[in-house]
Structure 1
Amino acid sequence: MSERELTISELGHRGDGIARTESGPVYVEGALPGEIVRAQVENGRAINAVIETPSADRIPPVCRHYEACGGCSLQHLADGPYLAWKRGLVVNALRDRGIEFAVADTVAATAGGRRRAVLTATRAGNHTLLGYHGKASHRLVDISECPVLDPAIVSALPGLKALATQVLPKKGELRLTVLNTTAGLDIAIDKADKGYDRKIPMLSQKTAELGFARLSVNGEVIVEFRPPMLDMGGIGLVAAPGGFTQATVTAEEALSRLVLEGVGKAKRVADLYSGAGTFALRLARTANVHAIEGDAAATAAFDKALRKPQGLKKVTFERRDLTRRPLVRDELDPFNAVVFDPPRAGAQAQAEQLAISKVKTVVAVSCNPATFARDLKVLIDGGYVLQSVTPVDQFRFSPHIEVVAVLKRE
């Protein structure tokens, strides 16, 4: 296999450099636009690539695990071009659906690091590995640092490994979700050895020694020294064990600000795919809110938060799978505004019902530009007009991007 000289013209949606050749695109891991690379090519991918002419936008990676770990893909790209690339992910996704719109600059929302991390642990002989899988690999990279995480989580890595060691299955991996709350770290371990119940006293003692707020194993709360509280815009909520939260506090604040601005003065708001109430609790300061979520643990956490006087308007909620049973037109029409924040698969069925509704304002939040653009196309075809589209970066150095759009009927 002979070597070829490749000129990188752009970054792909996963962060690989792309060289356009007569035989089609060649993807070059770690390469940047403008760089000249010499590599062998197999099935459209570069092998053993050597960068001969580096880009002026190339910077040294900030993590010692960067070459092996699959958690980050763009530590080698300077901040300005990196944020522009993230915006481009949204622009290109919209363009693929025939939507030309002036997308706002990317909001950088990674300050303080990720407060939530999902780590993997496994056995390696007599040792325990704790970290992330390698790039395009099932091999686990044992991490000792992680620049994208909240420092409180990084400093707890040795203790987390010690806990994981006690409940590792004989074969396979376990998952360890860590959330930094106002009361300290909340730890949820899944896929632990089935005999973990024999070790509950030891696990409780170890959790106390490490100063963690709560420990859950395989869905069971083992010990809770302090309720792991989250601050939802001044409203306290006890996190569900291993439950979803926005990855960074700054991103949650940025997304919430965009949602509140988009909803404006609406007095009756539906918050769909509401989770534990990230937006609903904030919206309820000025509007009557009906929240809908399919996850039982999230709705339970939301219910518990509502039981304390919070000075909110009327708030109601229901558990419902919106993918299978979206709110239909007659259910939607009483609302002035609707917010929806679905999982990566998007909300096509719900968008189709909104498109035939009388709802004046829709605020769409998404973590997947492709399904986001698809759902926006449905709404636009139904008569909505785009007012704004704003990318929000909370997963630094990764190809992931959040995005918020505001649409109105005119």
Structure 2
Amino acid sequence: MSTIVRVAARGDGVAEDGRHAPFAAPGDTLTEAGEIIPGPHHQPPPCRHFPQCGGCQLQHLDDESYAAFVADRIATALAAQSIDAPLRPTALSPPRTRRRATLHAERGLVGFTAEGSHAIVDMRECHVLHPALFALVAPLRALLQRLRPKGRAELHLTLADQGVDLLIRGRLPDGLAAAEALTGFAQAHALARIAVDDGYGPETRWEPQPVAVTFAGTPVPLPPAAFLQATAEGEAALVAAVREAAEGAATIADLFAGLGTFALALPGRVYAGEGARDALLALKAAAALARRPVVTEHRDLFRRPLTTAELDRFDAIVLDPPRAGAREQVAQLAASKVARLAYVSCNPSSFARDTATLCEGGWRLDWVQPVGQFRWSTHVELAAALSR
């Protein structure tokens, strides 16, 4: 017999004797035969599709142990770089709040793919999707059975201010009947927009009014399938952490700014650098219309990071890179004179690597805010404050 003491990065329970056990929670008992005796933190998974569906890996954890898992992922990554920092309590998004998702559809099946497989788990219930998104699953199944796309289709669902924005990536049939079916579907389900990408970029088929998302009171045009924080609660936690880390700064650079989630929430003058042209143009238009002091630049921050001379013009920096981190930009930050940094990350490993570089350059990691907005998944996010 051995007690499960933690959950590893990929979701397996780890026992005191070093053995790994799938679907085990801290406090469970692992027998010599490999059976799991549930403990106080092992809850019955709420969804019938667990564990086949790849959308969730940790539905067997209660909130306390899931919050601990999120924090432990970050602490373990930092410890591997010999870094210690205060971790704040994990901000967990509630069930049924995820406002964007990519589902797959083929041969009458619609849903997430199975864990470690391309097989589609036909979704009949979901405890992570926002009800407005889940309500479209059954109607979409019927629509695609009628249209019969060639091969597999991807369904990108995003909850915008005007309702659900749907992008279908796949080869739909041509002709008036197919076009009318799409328009009729959009009207019947009050979609904000429906667009189709058959390999040549999104083509809007229905958009009765411009689709937007609002950040800090400023509506921003939403390009089809553009990046958006997964939940409103997760976004709020990250924005609050960034605002705190940059508090008092008169001039701020928001790097990898996207649509302006942070740039529009920050006081003072903001420079926003972003490599995705559609997102940057949307932010530029929104800031101009709202008369916000945001200056935008279309810039590939991997190939052309801000130099130390450019960074030194700002009182604070906000950094929100993709999963690979920001190795090139961090090297410039380490050598700069700027004194405050808010780092937002969706990958504890690349965050820890970049933080080690910064610490070698004289920075200090003040605190980390763990965020679990991909409920019951192994995907972890965070916001951190660094200074010197």
The TM tier, using the shorter chain, reads over 0.9
- The CA deviation at 1:347 is 0.5
- The CA deviation at 1:153 is 1.1
The answer as to 2:214 corresponding to 1:231 is yes
The answer as to 2:61 corresponding to 1:77 is yes
Residue 35 (structure 2) aligned to one of 50, 70, 79 = 50
The secondary structure found in structure 2 opposite 1:141 is coil
The total of aligned residue pairs comes to 384
**TM-aligned CA distance change 1:252 to 1:392, over 3 Å:** same
The answer as to 2:104 corresponding to 1:120 is yes
Residues 251, 316 of structure 2: 8 Å contact kept: yes
The secondary structure found in structure 2 opposite 1:299 is helix
Residue 185 (structure 1) aligned to one of 132, 156, 164 = 164
* 1:295-324 Cα distance to aligned partner (Å, 9 max, x none): 12211221231231x252x21111111112
Residues 116, 177 of structure 1: 8 Å contact kept: yes
- The CA deviation at 1:198 is 7.1
What is the RMSD computed on CA atoms of the aligned residues?
A: 2.0
Normalized per residue, the structure richer in strand is 1
Q: For 1:50, give the aligned amino acid.
A: E
**TM-aligned CA distance change 1:111 to 1:31, over 3 Å:** closer
Query: Within 2, Cα distance between the matches of 1:197 and 1:66?
Result: 40
Residue 382 (structure 1) aligned to one of 352, 361, 365 = 361
Normalising by structure 2, we get a TM-score of 0.93
Structure-1 residue corresponding to 2:335 = 356
Query: Within 2, Cα distance between the matches of 1:330 and 1:246?
Result: 31
In the TM superposition, 1:217-296 aligns within 5 A as 217-218=196-197, 219-283=202-266, 286-296=267-277
Residues 168, 174 of structure 1: 8 Å contact kept: no
Query: Within 1, Cα distance between the matches of 2:360 and 2:147?
Result: 53
The answer as to 2:197 corresponding to 1:214 is no
The answer as to 2:123 corresponding to 1:143 is yes
Q: For 1:36, give the aligned amino acid.
A: T
- The CA deviation at 1:205 is 2.2
The secondary structure found in structure 2 opposite 1:89 is helix
Normalising by structure 1, we get a TM-score of 0.89
List gaps (5 residues or longer) in structure 1: 41-48
In the TM superposition, 1:92-171 aligns within 5 A as 92-110=76-94, 113-123=97-107, 128-165=108-145, 168-171=148-151
Residues 167, 196 of structure 1: 8 Å contact kept: no
Query: Within 1, Cα distance between the matches of 2:359 and 2:94?
Result: 31
Q: For 1:239, give the aligned amino acid.
A: L
The secondary structure found in structure 2 opposite 1:95 is helix
The secondary structure found in structure 2 opposite 1:391 is strand
The secondary structure found in structure 2 opposite 1:259 is helix
Query: Within 2, Cα distance between the matches of 1:258 and 1:356?
Result: 24
Query: Within 1, Cα distance between the matches of 2:247 and 2:86?
Result: 21
Structure-2 residue corresponding to 1:44 = none
- The CA deviation at 1:233 is 1.3
Q: For 1:27, give the aligned amino acid.
A: H
- The CA deviation at 1:38 is 5.2
